[in-house]
Amino acid sequence: MRAVSCAVASPAADRVWAVAERPDGTEQQRRTVPGVAKPRIAPLTKPLVAGYELVMRPIHAVGWHRIRLAFGLAYFLAIGYILVTDGVPTGRKALSYIVVAGLAITCLGRGWRRLVQVVIDWLPFTVVLMTYDQSRALADTMGMPLHESDIASAEGWLFGGHVPTVWLQQHFYDAAHVHWWDALATLTYTSHFVVTPLIAAIFWIRDRRVWMRYISRVILLSFAGLATYILFPEAPPWLAAKDGYIGSVSRLSARGWEYFHASFANRLLEAGQNGGANPVAAMPSLHLAFAFLAALTVYERLRSRWRGLIYLYPVLMGLTLVYTGEHYVIDLAFGMLYAVAAHWVLCRWEAWWGARRPARVAVPELAAETEMESATAT
C-alpha cells in the first residue's frame, strides 16, 4: 500500500484527513492532522455580512487615507468658519469637543479600539476643564474669604509702593485708541486656550509616550491650581480696582480684537470671561504656568540652537497678564513655582518607576532560570 499526497477536509470536524491508496485502488484514511476549518456564517447573519461588505466596498475603493484627508479638510474649514464668525472658542466643553473630534478623524479606518482610546485618554483632561468651572462654587460653599487688600498691599510693598498693573496701564493704555501692543496682548492671552490642547493633540498623534509625559504634568498642575483657587480665592487687579483697593485698572485682555475689526470676538471672549470663568481664580496664574510648561516641553523636543527663544512665549504671556489686569506679579511667581514643582515631582516619579520596572521584569526571568537549574540538577 502506497501513500498519496492528497488530503481532504472533513466538514464534520476541524481536521484534515490524510488518505492512503490500497493496491486494489480503494482509499483508506490512515491518520488525521489538525487543520483550520472555514468559519461558518449563520443564515440569519448572512444579510448583515452582505450589507457590511456592500457598504465597505466603495470605502475600500476610495481608501481610508483619502477619507481621513477629506474629513480633515472639512474639519479645518469648520474651525475656520467658527473663528471668523464667533472668534476663538474659549468654552471648556467646546475646546474638548473640538480636540476629540479632530483626533477621532485621525483614527478613521484604524479600528474602533483606537477611537475608544481617544475618549479614554482625553477624559481626565476634560474633567479638569469641567472642574475649573466649579471651583468658585466650591470656594463659596466652603466659606473661604476673598483675598483683595492683602495681595494688593503685598504687590505694592514689593515694587516700592507701585502696583505694576496700574503703572503699565497709566503709561501704555489709551482709552480712545487701540494700539498694536493691545492686539498682541489679546492674541497672547487668547493663545492660552489653544496652545495646551494643540500641543497635547500633536503629541498624542506622534508619540503617545511623550503625550503621557506632557498631559500628566498638565493634569497635576491643573488640580494643584484648582485646589489653591478653592482654598485661597484671590481677586485679580481689575476686580481689586473695581472694589477700590488699588488705582484705576481696566480689563484689557479682549480689547485687542478691535484692532482687527473683530468686535464680535471681543464680545465672545468677554462673555466667556463673565459667564463660566471663575473671576477669583488668580493665585496661581495657570496662564503663565501652562505657557511655561508648553515652552519647556517643546524646548526638550527641539534640537535647534535657537530653541531657547521658545521661552519668550511665557515671558510675553507674563507681561500680557500684568498689563491687561488679569494677574499680579505675585500670581506669576507662584504660577512659575507650581509649574516647576509639578515638572520636578513627575520627573522624580518617572525616574523611580523607570528604575523599578526592570527589576519587576527581571524577577520572573530569574525564577524561571532557577527552576531550570533545579530540574537539570535533578
- Residues 74-121 have pLDDT tens digits of 888 887 777 767 666 666 667 777 777 877 887 777 777 877 877 787
pTM for the model stands at 0.71
Q: Is residue 309 part of a domain?
A: yes
At 290 the pLDDT is 94
Segment 9-25 mean pLDDT: 48
Q: Are residues 189 and 317 in the same domain?
A: yes
Please tell me the distance from the alpha carbon of residue 321 to that of residue 180, in angstroms, as a whole number: 16
HSE, CB side, 13 Å, CA atoms: give it for residue 203: 22
Lowest mean pLDDT across 4-8, 93-97, 163-167, 337-341: 4-8
100 occurs within a structural domain: no
368 within domain boundaries: no
Better-scored residue on pLDDT, 26 or 358:
358
Three-state secondary structure readout of 207-261: CHHHHHHHHHHHHHHHHHHHHHHHHCCECCHHHHHHCCCCCCCCCCCCHHHHHHC
Reported as half-sphere exposure (CB side, CA atoms, 13 A), residue 26 has a value of 4
The reported pLDDT for the residue numbered 227 is 87
As for how many domains the chain has, the answer is 2
Residue 104 lies in a domain: no
State how far the alpha carbon of 130 is from the alpha carbons of 9, 86, 105, in Å.
60, 22, 24
* Residue 240 forms part of a structural domain: yes
pLDDT tens string 200-256:
888 888 888 888 899 899 889 988 988 898 889 899 999 999 988 998 999 988 888
Question: Does 126 map to a domain?
Answer: no
326 has pLDDT over 90:
yes
Cβ neighbour number for residue 225 with a 10 Å cutoff: 25
Task: Name the residue range of residue 23's domain.
Answer: 2-34
Evaluate whether 247 touches 163 at the Cβ level (below 8 Å). Answer: yes
User: Looking at the domain assignment, is residue 71 inside a domain?
Assistant: no
pLDDT at 169 over 60: yes
* 303 within some domain: yes
- Same domain, yes or no, for 321 and 190? yes
Winning range, highest mean pLDDT, from 42-51, 132-141, 175-184: 175-184
Q: 11 and 149 in one domain?
A: no
Distance CA 129, CA 77 (A): 25
Collect contacts of 365-372 with beta carbons under 8 A, ≥24 apart: none
Nearest-5° Cα angle at 149, 146 to 153 = 140
d(CA 295, CA 195): 10
Q: Are residues 148 and 269 in the same domain?
A: yes
Strand partners, 34: 15
